Amino acid sequence: MNDKTIVEKLYEEAMKARENAYAPYSNFKVGACLLSDDGEIFSGCNVENASYGLSICAERNAIFSAVAKGKREFKAMLVVAEGEAPVKPCGACRQVMAEFGDFDVYLANTKGKIEKTRVSELLPNAFSPKDL
């Protein structure tokens, strides 16, 4: 698959995951799709909780799902939510992404606008396992 095809597939899967989001408090549904180095795809959505600190973002949901399947190396992630501008990951998600390297991150909205960045651009000078 070429880069355009990969991004299209990640967008499609992230949009599907977004539909499963549980967001009764914010009504802000987010979907994420993660591509492992070996080509496997893992999706995630945000899941809110009345005790808001127990909620999980779509990005971490996708990463934790991949890790549960033994994956540790990633090529790309796409994150999508409704809004005029492409959605941006929260600080906690940026730190979790940085734990697993500097991969491509595509930020998207539900209207199809997509911007490409990298983990290192989202969280410069991140604390990582290399610092230990």
Which one of the listed residues 59, 73, 84, 99 is annotated catalytic?
A: 59
Active site residue 59: yes
pTM, full prediction: 0.95
Query: Is residue 51 part of an annotated ligand binding site?
Result: yes
**Which tens digits make up the pLDDT trace of 64-81?**
999 999 999 999 999 999
Q: Which two tokens stand for residue 61?
A: 């949901």
**Which tens digits make up the pLDDT trace of 106-131?**
999 999 999 999 999 999 998 877 77
* Residue found by looking up tokens 């604390």 in the block: 127
Edge-first strand listing for the sheet containing 41-45: 41-45, 30-36, 74-81, 104-109, 114-118
Query: Is residue 48 part of an annotated ligand binding site?
Result: yes
Cα distances (angstroms) measured from residue 53 to each of 9, 12, 48, 56, 119: 31, 29, 9, 8, 24
Query: Is residue 46 part of an annotated ligand binding site?
Result: yes
Domains of the chain: residue spans and CATH: 1-120 (3.40.140.10)
Query: Is residue 2 part of an annotated ligand binding site?
Result: no
